[in-house]
Chain A
Amino acid sequence: MRRSVRRKTNSRWWRRLGGWLYVLPALAAYLLVVIIPTAQSVWYSFWNWSGVGAATWAGLGNYIAFFTDPQLMQALQHTLVFVVFYSILPIVLGLVSAALVSRSRVRGAGVFRTIIFLPQVLTSVVIVVMWNELFGSNGLVNSALEAVGLGSLAQPWLGSFQWALPVLGLAGTWTTMGLCMLLFVAGVGNIPAELYDAARVDGAGAVREFFTVTLPGLMPQLAVALTLTVIGALRVFDLVWLTTHGGPGDATITPSLLLYQTAFTNGSVGGAAAIGVSLAIVSTLIALGIVAISDRRTA
């Protein structure tokens, strides 16, 4: 009796273990491409290696070199500027417009939604072509300036030490503002209507309603928008590489560009791995940090 029960549970356990067959294809691809290279990145980062020949132990040398690199300070400053353009500006625009749009409950929002979300499906190279046409020497912005008699302000924007960074930042704003707005519009839809009714009964105007009902109700969406856009700002590569290569000088260099240059121009594989590991840690911390803060706010 007992034995047959055990045999039965045993065979069930075996059958459940057989379920691993379902996981194997995905797991194999995932281990090969993501998990093993992640471990290798950490391992590489402790070695001096040029990609060919023998490697020598570096200890924390690559990390020290990266964190004391004067270019890193510049790259981080540029990342902060990008955070303003990729993250803060779109979120503020998105919040205000979502609040106003949901208040008015406009119809026919479907077409607008389709248009406003469009930049999310465009690849960065296409955006680069657009930005070149807008801000190049013969671009539309310069033509417009000349047309209104401000030709003296016309310049090659992407070649300017002063303007290249904010002009690239605007491309980020253009890409993420629709995402933020739609995220917040969806979030406002989840806020119970009673909260708004109660606020109106209390005589709250549009501004007070925004700060007492809408904003607290949007904390989860705000966390998501912040995480996505801040990490997006930290990882900018395509846009800068294809327009300015980080220049003029180092005026638009970013951490991802430093990684690429370190690995493939300077031939320091260990150094590049150390940058990659640092970037991975920082973006994970940003994601976890923002989630933790928003959880405490909503709890």
Chain B
Amino acid sequence: MIGRFERIVGYAILTIFSAIVLFPVLMLVLTAISPSGSGRIGVTDLRWDNFVIAWQQSDFGSHLLLSLVLAISVSVVTVLITPLAAYAIGVLRIPGHRMLFILFLAGIMIPLEGIIVPLYFTMRTTPFASTIGSLIIAQIGLSVSFGVFWMRAAMVAIPASLVESGRMDGAGSFGLFRSIVMPLVLPALTTLGLLTFMWVWNDYFLAFVLINNPDQLPVTVALGDFTTKYSTQINLMSACAVLVALPVVILYLCFQRQFISGILSGALKG
């Protein structure tokens, strides 16, 4: 029933969208391996060592490693603490679970702008002021809302009979969590870990405000400083940008189903 014309139109639209998306990305990658600092693309003389120079320049490599520490530690803590909270709220239904859920949900609605000013002044008084530590703490707190919301949704979808049968077998509340609930929500947990990693890695604003120490900047802010300082080395700047984008893009290509469904359904429910 479907006409050939319609199929051609469908492919044409997908191709046009893809081309629009890919054009700036390809331009960035080609600039990154070009010899000229003016940003002129030269494909006859590919300079793969631009990435090595970019890594060494202004300690860019150490900023990348800092970002890695930041994003991994926040993701790990998030996938540890938010399923526990979601379990107590969604499965155990502890006293006050409705109130708690509403409290956690409220955080999804509060934009960073609503808390950034006091957060800055509070963090300034702590021992880890202006270090990656303050950013780790802030990002963990910010990831709680979505994590609890996301993991609770996965947990309430578990058939009640499975939980009941676990209880009948005499499992305590933690045994139930570990041996029945967690294995069933593992896909949701994976998606949560990936999304948290991406959000924390990609953050600019929070790090920009909280961190003033140039040695402690995560890589997004470090790259931001480059864009204003080194406008004569556009090829190296592009190489840095590729390095910043690469970890998340690799994760995205490996786990695209989780990323796309996570962002789309997270968006739908949020």
A133 interface neighbour in B39, B198, B204, Cβ under 8 Å: B39
Across-interface contacts of A17 in B (CB, < 8 A): 94-95
In the complex, the answer to whether A123 meets B201 with C-beta atoms within 8 Å is: yes
Pick the contact of B245: A27, A36, A123 (CB < 8 A).
A123
Question: Contact check: which of B39, B209, B260 meets A117 at CB < 8 Å?
Answer: B260
**Interface pair B27/A140, CB less than 8 Å apart:** yes
Task: Assess the A125–B31 pair: CB atoms within 8 A.
Answer: no
Decide if B22 is an interface residue (CB 8 Å cutoff): yes
Chain A residues whose CB sits within 8 angstroms of the CB of B40 once the complex forms? 138
Check B18–A129 contact: CB distance below 8 A.
Answer: no
- In the complex, B253 has a CB within 8 A of chain A: yes
Q: Is A20 an interface residue (CB 8 A)?
A: yes
Contact A129 B264 (CB under 8 A): no
Q: Which residue of B lies closest to A128 (CB)?
A: B227
Q: Is B144 in the interface zone, CB < 8 Å from A? A: yes
Known: A19-B92, A22-B85. A280 touches B113 (CB 8 A): yes
A83 to B62, CA, bound (A): 38
Tell yes or no: A92 within 8 A of B by CB.
no
Q: Does B114 contact A (CB under 8 A)?
A: yes
> Does A147 make an interface contact (CB < 8 A)?
no
A1-9, A70-78, A108-116, A161-169 - the one binding chain B: A108-116
Q: Which candidate, B43-51, B158-166, B183-191, B233-241, is the interface stretch facing chain A?
A: B233-241
Q: CA separation between A30 and B107, bound complex, in Å?
A: 8
Contact, CB under 8 Å: A183 / B21: no
Render B94-119 as a binary contact track against A, CB cut-off 8 A, 1 for contact.
11000010011011011111111111
A37-B118, A224-B268, A276-B115 known; A121 and B252 CB under 8 Å? yes
Contact digits for A121-159, partner B, Cβ 8 Å, 1 yes 0 no: 111111011111110101110000000000000000000
Cα(A44)–Cα(B27), bound, Å: 46
Question: Given A35-B103, A129-B238, A231-B111, is A29 in contact with B141 using a C-beta cutoff of 8 Å?
Answer: yes
Which of A23, A103, A133, A139 counts the most chain B CB atoms within 10 A?
A: A23
- Chain B residues whose C-beta falls within 8 Å of the C-beta of A272 in the assembled complex: 117
A125 touches B241 (CB 8 A): yes
Flag whether A182 is at the interface (Cβ < 8 A). yes
Q: Is B20 an interface residue (CB 8 A)?
A: yes
B88 touches A273 (CB 8 A): no
Is B128 an interface residue, CB under 8 A from the partner? Answer: no
Closest to B104 in A: A30
Is the Cβ of B220 less than 8 Å from the Cβ of A123? yes
A48 at the interface (CB under 8 A from B): no
Tell me the chain B residues, 1-35 only, with Cβ under 8 Å from chain A.
2, 6-11, 13-15, 17-18, 20-22, 24-25, 27-28, 31
Residues of chain B within 8 A (CB-CB) of A214 are none
Query: B267 contacts which chain A residues (CB < 8 A)?
Result: 179, 183, 224, 228
Taking a contact as CB atoms under 8 Å apart, the answer to whether B6 and A23 are in contact is: no
Interface size on B, residues (CB 8 A): 97
Q: Mark A11-34, 1 if CB is under 8 A from B, else 0.
A: 001011111101101110110111
Q: Contacts A118-B252, A130-B27, A287-B109 hold; do A29 and B104 have CB atoms under 8 A apart?
A: no
| Nearest chain A CB to B240 CB, angstrom units | 8
Number of A residues, CB within 8 Å of B: 94
User: Which of B2, B20, B113, B141 gathers most chain A CB within 10 Å?
Assistant: B113
Within 8 A of A (CB), among B192-243: 198, 201-205, 208-209, 220-221, 223-224, 227-228, 234, 237-238, 241
Known: A32-B141, A33-B137, A260-B209. A125 touches B223 (CB 8 A): yes
Does the CB pair B227–A26 fall under 8 Å? no
A to B contact number (C-beta, < 8 Å): 286
Q: Which of A20, A129, A140, A186 has a CB less than 8 Å from the CB of B223?
A: A129
> In the complex, which residue of chain B has the Cβ closest to the Cβ of A40?
B118
- When distances are taken between beta carbons in the complex, the residues of chain B under 8 Å from A119 are 21
CA distance A136 to B27 in the complex (A): 14
CB-defined contacts of B18 to chain A, threshold 8 Å: 112, 115-116
Does A125 contact B148, Cβ atoms closer than 8 Å? Answer: no
Are A115 and B248 interface neighbours, CB within 8 A? Answer: no
List 10 tightest A-B contacts by C-beta distance, closest first: A33-B141, A104-B10, A280-B114, A40-B118, A19-B94, A123-B202, A22-B88, A26-B85, A37-B115, A104-B6
Task: Return 9 A-B CB contacts under 8 Å, by A number.
Answer: A26-B81, A32-B141, A33-B138, A121-B248, A121-B259, A132-B227, A178-B21, A181-B17, A284-B109
Chain B residues in the interface with A (C-beta under 8 A): 2, 6-11, 13-15, 17-18, 20-22, 24-25, 27-28, 31, 38-40, 80-82, 84-85, 87-89, 92-95, 100, 103-104, 106-107, 109-122, 137-138, 140-142, 144-145, 147-148, 173, 177, 198, 201-205, 208-209, 220-221, 223-224, 227-228, 234, 237-238, 241, 244-245, 248-249, 252-253, 256, 259-260, 263-264, 267-268, 270
Given contacts A27-B85, A130-B28, A130-B241, 19 further A-B contacts (CB under 8 A): A16-B92, A22-B87, A23-B88, A35-B107, A37-B115, A37-B119, A100-B6, A114-B253, A115-B17, A116-B17, A118-B252, A121-B252, A129-B223, A130-B24, A131-B24, A224-B270, A238-B204, A255-B113, A263-B117
